[in-house]
Structure 1
Amino acid sequence: MYICIDIGGTDIKYGVMDAAGEFAVHGTLPTEAKAYGGPGIVRKVSDLVRETCGTYDVRGVAISTAGMVDPATGEIVYALEESIPQYRGVNWKAIMRENFDLPAAVENDVNCAALGELWKGAGRGASSLFAMTIGTSIGGCLIVDGKVVHGASQSAGEIAYMRVPGGRLHERCSAAELVSAVCCANGLPAGSIDGHFVFDLLAKGDPAAQEEVALLIDSLADAITNVVCVVNPERIVLGGGIMAQEAVLRPLLEAALRDRLPSIVYEATTITFAATQNNAGMLGALYHFLQEHGNLSASVLP
């Protein structure tokens, strides 16, 4: 069995899985990142591993985590101090080896979510895909022939910084920006609504919600067009909180992409929406572990 851990700024998801990706147990605990920082996360994860090793025959630890990761060394090479203080420099491979004598694999959370979709979700069977998470912030990951493309600084896919008309993609497409804009336009107190409320307003014909969602679609379509023009992936996988509104967003997005892409390119690019939901990070972490340690059998491959 394998311990799979998905470390986010708000929650730590954890599970115990077999090599086929079937859960024996899973759960969630608060990260408390701002209160206790990297050292607190290390303590929480170590306690989880220690407890699990007392119950299961554990063969390894698969970790998905926020921040930029060097998968070869298992070290966090960059993390925003305001999000997770004192996290840069944490080396998960060394911690698992020295404290528990267990092998570990570590990968960025967006990359893991993409691998999870490749293995068990909307990316199954694709020879190349680009995954985008549209949530509190924006993330991306390119996978070619089953392997994540990391880039020279381990930051390939950091599309939050991509320039689109109006600013960076984070400023145009994130859930936080969408909610803030609708809130302000309707004269509501800051923090009084969430993304679900925005789409409720949209369904009721609220002009501000209509305008802001249209702007989001335009910016997202620009970003997808940029990605497709550069890497020409077989599939685009869209995940994150906002993308749960597939029924509303798909027709708008497809219409915008048809206007932007040559028909031969548009027809060769499949737009899909993420299917593994909250388990994507843990599934991708396990897939990455099995991949790294040469344990991917033909029955496991997507």
Structure 2
Amino acid sequence: MKRGIGKSHSKIILIGEHSVVYGYPAIAIPLRKIGIECIVEDAKNSFFYNKINTLSVAIFTALKHLKKENAKIKYKITSQIPQKRGMGSSAAVSIAAIRAIFDYFEEDLTDELLEKLVNTAEIVAHQTPSGLDAKTCLSDKAIKFIKNKEFSYIDLNLDAYLVIADTGIYGKTSEAIQSVKNLGSKADIPLKKLGDLTDEMAKILTENSKSKSEMIDKAGKIMTKANTELGKLNITIEKTDLFVKTAIENGASGAKISGGGLGGCVIALAKNLEIVEKIKDGFTKCGAENIWVEKI
């Protein structure tokens, strides 16, 4: 049986969510251990296109590019990435699916074309995608990104741990984006502050300071300040506030929500594995559905 396979990985935004949509920088980190795989095989019937489903759109986008819209195929997804948690599930599934289609038809796929096709599919999942999710899910390095302008890779050297907790509540990206829009000019100051905090974070992540502990403390404070600004944009909720508070009480240098907001994930920065375990225990008691740890 003819078969095509495509893979991708997850991501998490360290800082700059929402403000990135308005032209400010954001920093995102690939989570290479959290993966997704798509397998495409022969089928008796032509592919059924569902334009409100990101995966379906991604497959159709690839088929259309290859002029194979009537291909008789079926697909299967195996994913470790939870949906609607700000971990790039829609971008990652699009990447894996498009790679699988091109592999199935034994067609060459450049990184540039892949990113273009993924962003086309991503418009279905998000009202105004920044492109950050797709770029990070395609990367092995952290990325500083400014929409439609520039991006650069960051070699992380904090020697710290990022604890990522799934609150168990679906993030509501579209609703959160609209909420920020509804604030009008009241959103200007928090958005600019988020941009400034992201620039500060980038400097810390790229400087070669002898005091790692001091760098981690600075980065943590920036994260917590960013969470405060996100709160002013009305995209934090009671449960994410509880997770942030719990992380700091258990020794985190800082904590914040990550992603679209109104649910999703909370991330916390820890200096060592002992603190990591305390934070994980606190998150578990708060009802975390899943917890991941990434060295940064």
TM-score normalized by the length of structure 2: 0.30
TM-score normalized by the length of structure 1: 0.30
